[in-house]
Structure formats: C-alpha cells, structure tokens
Structure 1
Amino acid sequence: MKRIIAAAALTLFSAGLALAADTITLPAKNGNITFPHKKHQEVLKDCKACHEKGPGKIEGFSKDTAHKLCKGCHETKKQGPTKCGECHKK
C-alpha cells in the first residue's frame, strides 16, 4: 500500500513539472515580465523554493510578492535581474 501511495505522489509531482509552462508572461503597468519558469525549475530543482504548497499557482501572488520572493532570491544568490528595467519590458 505504501508503494502505491508513493507512486501516486511521484506521478502527481512529475505531472506538475511536465505541465508547467516554459515561459510565463506576467502583466504589469510599467512593462510586462517574462518569467522563464522552466529555467528556474532546472536551476532551483525545488518547487517549494517558490511554491510553498507544492507545484501550482502561487496563492496571493502580487507585485509585493514578486519583489520580495523573486528579487530577494536574486539578491541573495547574486544571480538574475534585480533592477526594474531588467524584468519590466515595455
């Protein structure tokens, strides 16, 4: 029984990765953000770094969330865009 549950959990997790968009465009009034989701998956290898509840839409995602979560991660890792115009493209 434990093997069946483990197999089902692994299948659902893998399906979430397979169905995730390669690139996501987030609309913003000062220029849309193109988010390379697949690249982030490959680098981070841990969905919970961004998705606290596992794969899926980030609940309550907003400008403030992006600035804290995304920009904060880029600053911590000293990798990726941290200035407005590096993410927001008109």
Structure 2
Amino acid sequence: MNKIIVAVALTFAFAVSAVAADTVVYPAPSKGAVTFNHKAHQGRAECKACHGEGAPSKITIDKNKAHELCKGCHAKTSGPTKCGECHKK
C-alpha cells in the first residue's frame, strides 16, 4: 500500500513539473514586465521555496511578494537585484 502511495505522489510531482511553463511574464506597467525563466530556476532551490508546502502549483505574485522572494533569493545567490536587471520595458 505504501509503495502505491509513493508511486502516485511521484507521478503527480513529475506531472506538475512537466507542465510548468518554461517562462512566465509578470506585467509591471510602471517599471516594465519581468520575464521569469522557470526552467532556469529549477534545481537551484526547492520548489517549496516559492510555491510553499504541498504540491507545486501556479503562484500569484505581487510586487511585495516578488521583492521578498525573488530579490531576497537573488541577494543571497548573487542574482540580479537592481530594478532594470529584471524589469524590461
């Protein structure tokens, strides 16, 4: 029984990652849109760092959450932190 549960969980996890968009564009009218390359970020952090606990799913992100999650992580990992490095008009 436990093997079946593990198999179903793994299948679901792989299915979610297989259908994740490669790139997502977040509109930011005043500063310019931010293009997020999901594929480039996979493997650099655990899914739950952005998606939270449970199975990863599409996340809703606003300016404050983006600055907390994205800019905060970039500051720790030498990623881009200046406005124009992520926002493109």
Match of 1:47 in 2: 47
Provide the rounded CA distance (Å) in 1 between the counterparts of 2:18 and 2:56.
Answer: 11
Identity over aligned pairs, percent: 57
Residue 52 of structure 2 aligns to a residue in which SS? coil
Residue 35 of structure 2 aligns to a residue in which SS? strand
Match of 2:62 in 1: 62
Whether 2:75 is the aligned partner of 1:75: answer yes
TM-aligned CA deviation for residue 49 of structure 1: 1.4
What is the aligned residue count?
87
Provide the rounded CA distance (Å) in 2 between the counterparts of 1:86 and 1:63.
Answer: 15
Match of 1:20 in 2: 20
Provide the rounded CA distance (Å) in 1 between the counterparts of 2:33 and 2:52.
Answer: 24
RMSD over aligned Cα, in angstroms? Answer: 1.1
Match of 1:36 in 2: 37
TM-aligned CA deviation for residue 42 of structure 1: 3.1
TM-score (norm: length of structure 1): 0.90
Match of 1:89 in 2: 88
Amino acid of the structure 2 residue aligned with 1:72 = G
Whether 2:19 is the aligned partner of 1:6: answer no
Unaligned runs of 5+ in 1: none
Provide the rounded CA distance (Å) in 2 between the counterparts of 1:80 and 1:27.
Answer: 20
